[in-house]
Amino acid sequence: MQLMRPDLAMKDAFAEFTRDWETHNEPIAPVSARLDGRTYETWLEDTWRLETQPRGNYVPADTWFWFDESGRMAGMITLRHTLNDFLLRVGGHIGYGVRPSMRRRGHATAMLAAVLPRARELGLTRVLVSCHKENIASAGTIRKNGGVLENEIVEDGRVVQRYWIAL
């Protein structure tokens, strides 16, 4: 299993990943994986640009696809280099998602663990990772990677748990 920076050759793997979410009638996670009307090529350019030249309220961020041992795209993870007010409140440094048909196999835990050294390379000493309170699996993933619950807040009528992971 490994993290790979998205590129043009991964278009079909990404399409399969997004179809899985649609088949299970779930919104794609992380939010950064949503095409929002863009082509894969435009999404990819925007994703690459975000690494060094964020626009608007966005912060610099790196994105990776997570492939399992058979070469299937199992998930996606984004590491934000800094936090703005919104990210400090609810979004955090890291957002990730595992496609519905490949859950409960340890992908989220391994993917998060693989990204933490990269956060350390950026000079971060701790990272904020959040999840909705009802997402028990994500809370478990965060705790398995050293996450300590700081607090819970209500955002848009849902309880968000905010965890810090020391690096």
Say if residues 22 and 14 touch (Cβ distance below 8 Å): no
pTM surpassing 0.85?
A: yes
Would you say 64 and 115 are in contact if contact means Cβ atoms under 8 Å apart?
yes
Is the confidence at residue 76, as pLDDT, over 90?
yes
Count of residues making up the chain: 167
In 10 A of CB 42, how many CB atoms?
12
80-to-45, 58, 116 alpha-carbon distances in Å: 17, 9, 12
Q: Which pLDDT tens digit goes with each residue over 21-42?
A: 999 999 999 999 999 999 999 9
pLDDT digits 0-9 by tens, 143-152: 999 999 999 9
Residues 77-106 have a mean pLDDT of: 96
